[in-house]
Structure 1
């Protein structure tokens, strides 16, 4: 399954790649850490441009130092290009070894949301929160809706919520997600006693 249209980067070409290529969507989620969502999800398009396409088998087999350099060229793919290059390569290696180089195989035959969450959570760099957000993104925008997917995604799967990238469909929803994240961070700081 794919999406007709996504609005995650603000760049038509990058969003079109995410909508049609499950590998790009998954790698965008890998990169979605400690940088703005738009930059993270633009990363697969940048990698594709620099490598002449987005081929996970080629990425997996590329010398790690060479791939790190590809990700580090200005403008860097990520704020931490070296460590994230390694994480992207690790996910690509899992895709090649376990899913025939196709991220869609992760969810193609999964019968339940709980199993989808488990498969995604087993990928390098996917903790519980990131896995739940990706399940929500797949369900809300990519048409991947196994039984119980909303429950597996937790609060991120709630209809009408504005908590994560799964809920971004336009400028207004992007602003609402940003406000929600800012409020959650402030609440976490207050709860921990940090200023």
Structure 2
């Protein structure tokens, strides 16, 4: 396995990503791994163990490549509900999250509810 993944031609990388959605995921994981390696010496747990409070944790999570507010809240919910990270408690949204999932059945229920909510939200946003 290579120590690093590196594209020498950005056009080639963009073409690969456009033709293969998995390549997008590979790029995301690579960027995330590089960030954790450079910022936290490869120890991903430091993202939350070094956060003194919710604001620091939010900043650490938001600095992760590909993490916007939704992913910050989702990971915050998992950290709070599944790993007991106190600094993450303030990041937990009011609605059900992946942090509430504790079984394959729970995941299926969560995904079904999320799809229903998205459909309802899309219908509400559509012009009548």
Q: TM range, normalised to the smaller chain? A: 0.7 to 0.9
Correspondence list, 1:43-192, <5 A: 51=1, 58=3, 61-64=4-7, 80-146=21-87, 149-155=88-94, 163-192=96-125
Secondary structure, in 3 states, of the residue corresponding to 1:155? Answer: coil
Runs of 5+ consecutive residues of structure 1 not aligned to the other structure:
1-50, 52-56, 66-71, 73-78, 157-162
Secondary structure, in 3 states, of the residue corresponding to 2:74? Answer: helix
Pairwise CA RMSD: 2.5
**Alignment length (residue pairs):** 118
Per-residue deviation, residues 115-173 of structure 1 (Å, max 9, x unmatched): 21221111111110011100110111123222xx33222225xxxxxx33211101332
- Output the TM-score relative to the length of structure 2: 0.78
- Partner of 2:13 in structure 1? none
CA contact (8 A) 1:139 1:150 kept: yes
- Give the superposition deviation at 1:105: 0.8
RCO higher in structure (CA 8 A, sep ≥6): 1
CA 1:64 to 1:141, structure 2 compared with 1: closer, same or farther past 3 Å? Answer: farther
Runs of 5+ consecutive residues of structure 2 not aligned to the other structure:
9-15
CA contact (8 A) 1:113 1:151 kept: yes
